[in-house]
C-alpha cells in the first residue's frame, strides 16, 4: 500500500474544507444583523455561568429549570434596571438640552467667566489662537453643542423608531442566553474538539481564553458601574446639575484605562475652582483622586486577579480600536480580540517542538 494518500481523498478533504469555509461565511453573513445580540448573549452566559452552576447543583435533574431561573435573575437584576436607567437618562438629557436652548445654561458665558480667572499668560495664549472674542465664543459653543446634541437626538430617535428591532434583538439575546446556559458546556466541548491542536494545547487555549474574557469583561463592567455610581453620588452631594448624565459619562469613560473618569471630573473641578466655588472644587478634586479613581485600583485586581488581567496599555488600545471600528459593541469586542491574541501567542511561545522519541532499535551503534 502506498504511503501517500490517494488523490481522491485529497480532493475530498479540500472540498470539505472549502464547503466548511463557504458555509461559515454564509452563516456569519446571515446572522450579522443580530451580531450584537449574539455577543451579549455569550457575555451574559459567561458571566452568569457560576450562578447557573450553583442552581444546577441544587436541581441536578432540571438543567432547563436552572437555566430559566438564571435567565429570570438576569432580566430582573440587569435588563430591567438598564432600561429604566436609559429612560431616565433620556429625560435628563432632554431637560439639560432645554436649559441650554432657553439660555439658562450659557456655555459661552461659563467659558468667559472661567477665562477671567486664568493667569495672564493663559489669556494671552487664548487670544493668540482666537478664543478671546466673547460673542464669537458664545456663538461657537452654542452652535457646537446644538449640533452635537442634535446628532445624538437623531440617533436616539432612530432607536425609538426601531423599537421593534430593539425588542426583537433583546428577545434573541435572552433566548440564546437560555440555551447557552443550558447547553453551553456541550457546545464548548464540541468547539474544543474541532480545534486542530493537541489535546493539552486545546485545553490550555480554551481555559486561558475563557478566564481572560470573563475576568476582563466582569472587571470592566463592574468597575464602570461602581465608578459611575460613585461619581454620580459625589456630583449629587455637591449640588452639581446633571448628576445622572455625569455619572453615566464617568461609567462609560472608565472603560478606558489610565484616562478614565478623569476626563469628566478633572475639567469640572478646574471650572469650579476658577469660577469661585473653591470648596466644591476642592472636595470634587479630592474625591475624584482618592475615591472615584481608586475604585479601579482596588476593585479590579480583586475581580480580575493578576494572572488573568491584561496590561492596561493593551486594554486601552484594544478598547479604543474596538470602539472606532464597531461602536459601543467595540468596548467588549476589542478586549475580547486582545485576549484571544495574547492567549494564542502565550501558548505558541510555551509550545515545545514535538520530537519523536528514539526507539531502542533505532539508536545508532556505540563506537
Q: Report DSSP letters for 215-249, one per residue.
A: HHHHHHHHHHHHHHHHHHHHHHHTT-S-HHHHHHH
Q: Are residues 231 and 187 both part of a single domain? A: no
Q: Are residues 60 and 163 both part of a single domain? A: yes
Q: Read off the pLDDT of residues 17-31 as tens digits, 9 standing for 90 and up.
A: 888 889 989 988 988
pTM as predicted: 0.67
Identify the sign of the CA torsion 271, 274, 280, 282.
Answer: positive
* pLDDT band, very low/low/confident/very high, at 152 (cuts 50, 70, 90): low
Whether the predicted pLDDT of 131 surpasses 80: no
* pLDDT band, very low/low/confident/very high, at 42 (cuts 50, 70, 90): confident
DSSP count for the chain of H helices, then E strands: 15, 0
Is 357 domain-assigned?
A: no
Predicted pLDDT of residue 261? 84
Predicted pLDDT of residue 330? 79
Cell 472587571 belongs to residue: 219
State how many domains the chain has.
2
Average pLDDT over the chain, rounded to an integer: 75
Predicted pLDDT of residue 358? 42
User: Under DSSP, is residue 175 helix (H, G, I), strand (E, B) or coil?
Assistant: helix
Out of 74-78, 118-122, 265-269, 292-296, least confident range? 118-122
How is 61-122 classified by DSSP, letter by letter?
Answer: T-HHHHHHHHHHHHIIIIIHHHHHHHHHHHHHHHHHHHHHHHTSS-HHHHHHHHHHTS-HHH
* pLDDT band, very low/low/confident/very high, at 52 (cuts 50, 70, 90): very high
Q: Are residues 171 and 108 both part of a single domain? A: yes
Q: Are residues 104 and 183 both part of a single domain? A: yes
Q: Are residues 221 and 243 both part of a single domain? A: yes
Q: Read off the pLDDT of residues 259-275 as tens digits, 9 standing for 90 and up.
A: 678 888 888 888 787 77
Q: Are residues 296 and 208 both part of a single domain? A: yes
Is 112 domain-assigned?
A: yes
Q: Are residues 104 and 162 both part of a single domain? A: yes
- Per-residue pLDDT, averaged over 246-251, amounts to 86
Domain hosting residue 85, numbered range: 33-193
Nearest residue to 256 via CA among 328, 367, 331, 361: 331
Cα distance from N-terminal residue to C-terminal residue, the chain: 37
Q: Are residues 188 and 233 both part of a single domain? A: no
Q: Are residues 316 and 174 both part of a single domain? A: no
- Per-residue pLDDT, averaged over 155-182, amounts to 76
Whether the predicted pLDDT of 175 surpasses 90: yes
Amino acid at each position: 500500500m502506498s504511503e501517500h494518500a490517494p488523490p481522491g481523498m485529497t480532493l475530498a478533504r479540500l472540498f470539505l474544507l472549502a464547503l466548511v469555509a463557504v458555509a461559515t461565511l454564509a452563516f456569519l453573513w446571515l446572522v450579522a444583523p443580530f451580531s450584537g445580540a449574539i455577543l451579549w448573549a455569550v457575555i451574559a452566559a459567561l458571566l452568569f455561568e457560576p450562578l447557573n452552576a450553583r442552581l444546577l447543583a441544587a436541581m441536578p435533574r432540571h438543567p432547563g429549570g436552572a437555566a430559566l431561573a438564571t435567565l429570570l435573575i438576569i432580566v430582573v437584576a440587569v435588563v430591567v434596571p438598564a432600561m429604566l436607567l436609559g429612560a431616565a437618562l433620556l429625560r435628563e438629557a432632554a431637560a439639560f438640552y432645554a436649559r441650554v436652548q432657553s439660555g439658562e445654561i450659557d456655555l459661552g458665558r461659563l467659558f468667559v467667566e472661567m477665562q477671567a480667572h486664568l493667569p495672564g499668560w493663559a489669556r494671552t495664549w487664548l487670544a493668540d489662537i482666537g478664543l478671546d472674542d466673547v460673542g464669537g465664543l458664545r456663538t461657537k459653543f452654542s452652535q457646537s453643542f446644538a449640533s452635537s446634541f442634535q446628532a445624538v437626538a437623531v440617533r436616539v430617535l432612530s432607536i425609538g423608531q426601531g423599537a421593534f428591532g430593539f425588542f426583537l434583538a433583546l428577545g434573541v439575546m435572552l433566548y440564546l442566553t437560555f440555551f447557552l446556559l443550558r447547553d453551553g458546556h456541550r457546545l464548548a466541548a464540541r468547539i474544543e474538539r474541532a480545534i486542530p491542536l493537541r489535546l493539552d494545547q486545546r485545553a490550555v487555549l480554551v481555559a486561558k481564553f475563557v478566564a481572560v474574557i470573563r475576568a476582563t469583561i466582569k472587571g470592566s463592567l463592574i468597575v464602570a458601574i461602581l465608578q459611575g455610581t460613585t461619581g454620580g453620588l459625589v456630583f449629587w452631594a455637591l449640588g452639581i446639575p446633571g448628576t445622572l448624565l455625569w455619572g453615566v459619562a464617568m461609567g462609560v469613560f472608565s472603560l478606558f484605562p489610565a484616562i478614565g473618569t478623569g476626563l469628566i471630573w478633572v475639567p469640572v473641578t478646574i471650572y469650579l475652582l476658577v469660577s469661585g466655588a473653591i470648596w466644591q472644587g476642592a472636595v470634587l478634586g479630592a474625591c475624584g483622586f482618592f475615591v472615584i479613581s481608586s475604585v479601579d485600583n482596588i476593585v479590579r485586581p480583586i475581580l480580575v486577579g493578576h494572572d488573568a488581567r491584561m496590561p492596561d496599555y493593551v486594554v486601552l488600545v484594544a478598547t479604543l480600536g474596538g470602539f472606532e471600528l464597531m461602536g459601543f459593541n467595540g468596548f467588549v469586542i476589542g478586549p475580547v480580540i486582545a485576549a484571544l491574541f495574547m492567549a494564542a501567542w502565550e501558548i505558541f511561545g510555551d509550545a515545545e517542538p514535538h520530537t519523536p522519541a528514539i526507539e531502542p532499535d533505532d539508536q545508532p551503534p556505540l563506537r
